[in-house]
Amino acid sequence: YLYKPWQMKKTTTTCNYCGDGCQMYLETKDAEVIRVTSPLSWKNKWGDRSETAKGHGGLCVRGRFGFEYLDAKTRLTQPLVREGNQLVEKPWLDVMHQVVDRFAEIKQKHGADAIAGVITARCTNEELYLFQKLMRTVFGTNQLDSSARYGHLNFVCASKQAVGLGRTPNDWEDFTKAKAVLLIGSNITETNPLTAVRIKEAIRVYKAQVVTLDSAVTNMAKLASHPFLIKPGTEGLVIDGLVKAAIEQDLVDEETVGKHPKAFSALKSAVAGLSLEQLAMQTGLSADDFREIAGIFAEAPRSIVICAEGIVRRPQGYQNVLKLHDLAWITGKLGKPGCGVNTLTEEANEQGAVDMGAAPEFLPGQARFDDPAARDRFAKAWDGSLPAAQSGASLMEILRRCKSGQIKALYVIGENPLATLPASVEVRAALERLELLVVQDPFLTDTARHAHVVLPACTYAEKDGTFTNLEGRVLRVRQAMEPVGESLPDWHIMTALASGLGAQWDYQSPNDIQAEIMKLLPGYYNLGQPRKVVPQPDHYLANGYSAEVATRYRPAPASADSKRPFALMMGQVLVHSGKLSTEAPGLIKIAPNTGKLRMNMQDMERLGLNEGVKVRLTSERGSLQLGVQPDLSVAPGTCFFPEHFNEPPVKDLMTVSVDPATGVPAFKLTWVGIEPASRD
């Protein structure tokens, strides 16, 4: 390094890549980020590690080396306004006047529901809170959403339904001390590497039995006591088999199910028609595998489930999380300390986005938006009125309304739907129909290139606030550097916008916003401490469960046909979702975009393909050509492309299905044919 340690400013803050919430030192010199180090990566003189040093002082490659985007040359430094085909730099004051006038005009002419907003779950809690307040009380619409819609809301809604808790019930200590871990649909070492360390510790120190169920050979599968490869898209069927096996083998906890005999008998009837042999054929497991896994889970004194992208980002995600709760309930692992059904959050503050009410179905504190008492409370606190209880739209519906011309103005903060969603969603057409597209982002994203106005926003390193990690810990984000160029923190821009539109907002700093949140959600800011609760399923089991469970065990799995025999999966590799990491050259050096389809060696040999040879990949959505490369983690009959690279546009081959219960779009798995390109 060019500088001595004492010449640099060292700021303790929270990593903003994944939901693990690792603490880090951002070391800066003036406006330059020099390095990231890890607080207390050593034991103190008593041999203890700091409570706040999440990951025991460890950081993964993203946290440690993925900081270069913070002061990258590609950062936006000034507001931009569209003039013809060009985006032209303009002064802040002029641009804000223009934005305020345009929003006000559109609202006056077409009504509040001509406006919608979408925000990234990488903003701070304070910004997410302000965003939903702006949309609801200043614009007057409930058409708002965050990137938690891409999967986490499937978990939140199902867990809330089952046990009344919209987040993971267990913390890292529970993960470490679990005796049985059922890891389903999760590449945990890539998506949440420091949570993966806890599972590794559970294996090493507590001799936990770890069952992995995935359609790829994950790194965790190599360490697990019971690694199982399943056919792609059959996660729901696997859970069916486990519930069936637990009942068939009498692994149920009599005391637990005895409290709700009607609910248990409804569940038994729901799975009565399932056959383990049939499920075995569909999933790639054997009937005995189902029995063995159910036995491991039921018989361990502390068992946890961790379900991630293979469940929450796939079709039937909401139902599959409920089915995992069924499994945990009948085996006595729901409502028992140290046990429960958990998920992993991909972005730093997905949990905070839901907790702060940045979703049409929730007010802050996850109060239902249509709950009259909650509506009253918030309307009073905000000294205004809320949009109608049944109004509102989540991400996919917002985009549909933009495309139909119903929504005229869209406010996008830190999100990039054009790059994230497949072409079949027609995001481009939706954006082109808008009269006003305002994008607020640190970078000129694909979506921003279509905007009428682009507002330069700060990254987490330039602002104060908090994130809520996957355990429910609220962690401090501290300003480590001055804003790049004329960029401003998102909370600052939103406050100016609200004030311009006539709201009496007087927030001078994130502390003022925090003070308001504290009043409305007492106890939320338990900084650093997970809010340990043991959620109980009693309310759900006594109310409506029996009717609901009767329809739950009728899965319709995606299946290959002879023309499209390969499962094409998109997912994360170590560099993450790509929204920020593709702007960090250090990460791209470690995991570059080869532009190639990753295939199993056996399949490549069978098709006569050598590395680098071009193939034509055809799904029901279209086809494209790209090279291939062998990958040991890819199972036979499947192929993989990292989701964070859009070149070539493999995501456009994906079919999108929207979860009917939660509006979560699933677009990470489809069926394709692969043939050498020369045969075209």
Residue 156 has which token pair? Answer: 């939140």
CB 39 within 8 A of CB 28: no
d(CA 132, CA 442): 20
Among 33, 60, 115, 496, binds ligand SF4 (CB under 6 A): 60
Residue 348 CB, nearest approach to ligand SF4 (Å): 7
Can you tell me which of 26, 27, 56, 62 binds ligand SF4, judged by CB under 6 A? 62
Q: Which stretch binds ligand SF4 (CB under 6 A): 53-61, 117-125, 253-261, 438-446?
A: 53-61
Rounded to a whole number of angstroms, the minimum distance from the CB of residue 203 to ligand SF4 is 18
Measured CA to CA in angstroms, residue 366 lies from 26, 304, 585, 662 at distances of 32, 24, 38, 14
User: What's the closest the beta carbon of residue 468 comes to ligand SF4, in angstroms?
Assistant: 13
Q: How many other C-beta atoms are found inside a 10 Å radius of the C-beta of residue 610?
A: 9
CA distance 649 to 626: 10
Which of these segments, 19-27, 555-563, 566-574, 669-677, binds ligand SF4 (CB under 6 A)? 19-27
Provide, rounded to whole angstroms, the least separation between the CB of residue 472 and ligand SF4.
15
How far is it, in rounded angstroms, from Cα 637 to Cα 234?
14
Side chain identity, residue 638:
T
Of 192 and 331, CB closest to ligand SF4: 192
Span near ligand SF4 by CB under 6 A; candidates 11-19, 67-75, 115-123, 352-360: 11-19
CA distance 438 to 79: 11
Instruction: Quote the least distance from Cβ 42 to ligand SF4, whole Å.
Output: 17
Residue closer to ligand SF4 by CB (options 161, 468) is 468
457 to 476, contacts with ligand SF4 by CB under 6 A? none
Q: Rounded CA gap, 291 and 430, in Å?
A: 49
477 interacts with ligand SF4 by CB under 6 A: no
Secondary structure string (H, E, C) spanning 130-190:
HHHHHHHHHHCCCEEEEHHHHCHHHHHHHHHHHHCCCCCCCCHHHHHHCCEEEEECCCHHH
CA nearest 297: which of 410, 416, 181? 181
List Cβ neighbours of 312 (8 Å cut-off, separation of 6 or more): 151, 152, 154, 155, 185, 321, 343, 664
Instruction: Choose the binding region for ligand SF4 from 2-10, 52-60, 590-598, 607-615 (rule: CB under 6 A).
Output: 52-60
Shortest CB 454 distance to ligand SF4, Å: 27
Select 59 or 363, whichever has its Cβ closest to ligand SF4: 59
The residue of the chain with the least Cβ separation from ligand SF4 equals 63
| 16 C-beta neighbours (distance < 10 Å), count | 23
**Smallest distance from the beta carbon of 316 to ligand SF4, in angstroms?**
28
The residues in 114-173 that bind ligand SF4, with binding defined as CB under 6 A, are none
Q: Using CB under 6 A, pick the residue from 8, 15, 184, 569 that binds ligand SF4.
A: 15
Among 21, 233, 236, 310, binds ligand SF4 (CB under 6 A): 21
Query: 62 or 552, CB closer to ligand SF4?
Result: 62
To the nearest 10 degrees (0 to 180), the angle between helices 510-520 and 372-381 is: 140
Residue placing its CB nearer to ligand SF4 in the complex, 55 or 332: 55
Q: Does 63 bind ligand SF4 (CB under 6 A)?
A: yes
When binding is defined by CB under 6 A, the residue of 8, 34, 53, 59 that contacts ligand SF4 is 59
Q: Find the helix or strand (DSSP H, E) in which 401 lies.
A: helix 395-404
* Closest CA relative to residue 52, chosen from 350, 469, 513: 469
| Sole binder of ligand SF4 in the list 17, 131, 139, 641 (CB under 6 A) | 17
Compare residues 60 and 615 and give the one whose CB is closer to ligand SF4: 60
| Partner residues linked to 568 by β-bridges | 639, 670
Return d(Cα 552, Cα 549) in angstroms, integer.
5
Which of 20, 145, 214, 603 touches ligand SF4 by CB under 6 A? 20
Distance CA 474, CA 384 (A): 28
Q: Count other C-beta atoms under 10 Å from residue 29's C-beta.
A: 14
- Considering the complex, state which of residue 20 and residue 235 has its C-beta at the smaller distance from ligand SF4: 20
Binding to ligand SF4 by residue 22, rule CB under 6 A? Answer: yes
Closer to ligand SF4 by Cβ: residue 260 or 579? 579
Shortest distance (Å) from residue 199 CB to ligand SF4: 13
The structure tokens listed for 591 are 């995991």
Please say whether the beta carbons of 325 and 537 come within 8 A.
Answer: yes
| Dist. CA 161–CA 207, nearest whole Å | 33
Based on the shown chain and the rule CB under 6 A, indicate whether residue 352 belongs to the binding site for ligand SF4. Answer: no
For ligand SF4, the closer CB: 280 or 574: 574
Segment interacting with ligand SF4, rule: CB under 6 A, options 56-64, 370-378, 386-394, 505-513: 56-64
Rank residues 60 and 257 by Cβ distance to ligand SF4 and give the closer one: 60
CB of 24 to ligand SF4, least distance (A): 7
- Residue 253 burial (CB count, 10 A): 16
Measured from the CB of residue 16, what is the shortest distance to ligand SF4 in angstroms?
7
CB of 55 to ligand SF4, least distance (A): 6
Which C-beta is closer to ligand SF4: that of 59 or that of 247?
59
* Closest to ligand SF4 by CB, 42 or 550: 42
> Measured from the CB of residue 66, what is the shortest distance to ligand SF4 in angstroms?
7
Q: How many CB atoms lie within 10 A of CB 298?
A: 23
User: What is the rounded CA–CA span in Å between residue 166 and residue 149?
Assistant: 14
- Measured CA angle at 431 (ends 130, 347), to 5 deg: 45
Contact status, residue 476 vs residue 113, Cβ threshold 8 Å: no
Residues 181-200 that bind ligand SF4 (CB under 6 A): 192-194
Helix H, strand E, coil C: the string for 597-660 is EEECHHHHHHCCCCCCCEEEEEECCEEEEEEEEECCCECCCEEEEECCCCCCCHHHHCCCEECC
Q: How far is the CB of 308 from ligand SF4 (least distance, A)?
A: 13
Q: Nearest distance from residue 532's CB to ligand SF4, in Å?
A: 21
Q: How many residues contact ligand SF4, by CB under 6 A? A: 14
Give the footprint of ligand SF4 on this chain (CB under 6 A): 15, 17-18, 20-22, 55, 59-60, 62-63, 192-194
